[in-house]
Structure formats: structure tokens, C-alpha cells
Amino acid sequence: MSPKPPKRFEKPSIWSFILILIVLAFLVTGINNANITFSRITGGIMNIGDFLAQAFPPDFSRFGPIMSAMIETFEMALVGTFAGVIISIPVALLSSKTTNSFSFLRSLTKGAVTVMRTVPDLVWALLFVIAVGLGPFAGILTITIDTIGFCARFFSERIDELDKKPKEALESTGSGYFGVITGSVLPQATPSFVGTSLFALEKSIRGATVLGLVGAGGIGVELSAQMSLRNFDQALMIIIIILILVLVVENISQRIRAKYI
């Protein structure tokens, strides 16, 4: 009797086979609709070459205003991430089976987090620009919502993975809900929360650089303007500053995680 093959080699079910066919159909249709041709590829390479030729050397004549916009972008990301992380903690407690026994409320909270996570940043930015007007406030609200969608999910999953014994020990001594949360859940989950929050900050800084494209403030406004005016040398300077900021923040975040988490 021959041994049974591993699951990954077993014949797929009819529904799995249909799903594979659908995905392959979308893949083929997507490639076809993209109109990928050799001439377009070579032309694109030539256009990138023209851009680089016009962009070098980068123009630092407007370094002051650009840095001001870059600082505004960093502040947007920092404030939005901070607000999002703070709100994510109670949201995660409501989303977790460990800390919320009401299934309806838990499902409702998870649904809200899913909506926050799945709607793209630029869509949120457009909505908030309509709601509160142009400027960094719309960007901060966008980053806050995006951070809640990101952090609340991972915070909730981490709470579900915690060792239940400290929680049960506190409950056995008569501790109330908030005593259990502050004495067991949060102390165990805090290192993971900090690591996730640092990842969220890195994500927010990258996202904040493009929010200005829809009027939500920050360096994106300057980058969009210079690209539209074909001032590629100034656009390159902005891109370099964005790159430096992202690399610095990621390096600091990595060092913090390596040392304290």
C-alpha cells in the first residue's frame, strides 16, 4: 500500500479547482488589459532615463520650505500614530475573546476595525479633506484611522495569545475587570504593543508622504507641485529627503525593538 501523499499534493476539491481557474482567468485578463509590449517597456526605460538626466543634480535652492513641509509630514505621522495607538488599546480589548465575552459587541468592533483597515489611505484622506478641509488635520485623521485598523487587529490577536494563568489567578482573588486588565493583560502584552506601534509609525511616515497628493498636507503637496511643473531637479531633492527620513526612522525603530523588546 503506497503512502498517502502530503496534503499539498492531494487532488484539490471541485471548489478549489474552480477558484484556481477564476484566479488564473483574472491573471491572464489583467496581463492582457495592461497592454504590456516590448516597445512600451523600452520607451518607459528611456523616459526614466530622461527624468534622471533632468533631475541631476538635485536642486536644493528651496531646502528651507521643503524641510518645513517634511517636518509637517513627520508631525502628522507622529500625532496620528500616537492617537491611533491610544485608541487601539480599548478597541483591541473589545475585539478580544479574552477580555470581551459579549460576542455581538466583539463582532461589531472587529467589523469596524476591518473597515478601517481595508479602505485605502487615500480614500480616507479624500473623505477627511471634504469633512475638515485641506491641510494636515485631514492627514492626521487619516493616519489615526489607518493606525487603528493596523494596531487594533494585532493588539487583539496578541491578547488572545496571552497566558491565561495570571488572569485566572487575579480573578480567583476577586479582582474586577479593570484590575485584571491592568494587572495581567496589559503587562504581558505591552512589549508586543510597543513593537507593533513602532511598525505602525514607520508605516505612517511612508503613507504620510503621499497624503498631500489629495490635499491632506505634508511633503506630498510639494512633490506633486514640482512633478506637475516638471521641476524634476527639485522633485529629486524632495525624494531624497523623504528617503533619508524613512531610513532614519526605520533604523531608530529597529534599534529600539532590538534593545527593549
Per-10-residue mean pLDDT, the chain, length 261: 59 80 89 80 82 80 83 89 92 85 86 88 88 85 91 88 74 73 79 87 86 76 81 85 87 80 65
Q: Which triple of cell numbers denotes residue 67?
A: 524641510
Please identify which residue in the block is written with the cell numbers 503506497: 2
Q: Which residues constitute the domain of residue 103?
A: 67-260
Q: Considering only CA atoms, which of 57, 65, 75 is closest in space to residue 237? A: 57
Residue 201 counted as domain residue: yes
135: left (phi over 0), alpha (psi -120 to 50) or beta: left
Q: Which triple of cell numbers denotes residue 50?
A: 530622461
Q: What confidence score (pLDDT) does residue 144 get?
A: 93
Alpha-carbon span 64 to 52, nearest angstrom = 23
Q: Considering only CA atoms, which of 130, 146, 168 is closest in space to residue 88? A: 146
Residue 163 counted as domain residue: yes
What's the structural domain count of the chain?
Answer: 1
Residue 148 counted as domain residue: yes
Q: Which triple of cell numbers denotes residue 139?
A: 492627514
Residue 40 counted as domain residue: no
Residue 256 counted as domain residue: yes
Residue 41 counted as domain residue: no
Largest CA distance in the chain: 78
Q: Which triple of cell numbers denotes residue 110?
A: 472587529
Phi, psi of 29 (to 5 degrees): -65, -40
Residue 229 counted as domain residue: yes
Rg over CA atoms, the chain: 24
Q: What confidence score (pLDDT) does residue 252 get?
A: 86
Q: Which DSSP letter does residue 183 get?
A: I
Evaluate the omega torsion of the peptide bond into residue 136 and state whether it is cis, within 30 degrees of 0: no
For residue 224, which amino acid is it?
A: S
CATH number at residue 104: 1.10.3720.10
217: left (phi over 0), alpha (psi -120 to 50) or beta: left
Q: Is 136 exposed, middle or buried (0-12, 13-18, 19+ CB in 10 A)?
A: buried
Q: What confidence score (pLDDT) does residue 1 get?
A: 52
Alpha-carbon span 150 to 120, nearest angstrom = 12
Q: What confidence score (pLDDT) does residue 7 get?
A: 60
Q: What confidence score (pLDDT) does residue 87 get?
A: 92
**Helix, strand, coil tally for the chain in percent (to 5):** 80, 0, 20
Q: Considering only CA atoms, which of 201, 252, 250, 243 is closest in space to residue 219? A: 243
43, HSE (Cβ side, Cα atoms, 13 Å) = 5
Residue 60 counted as domain residue: no
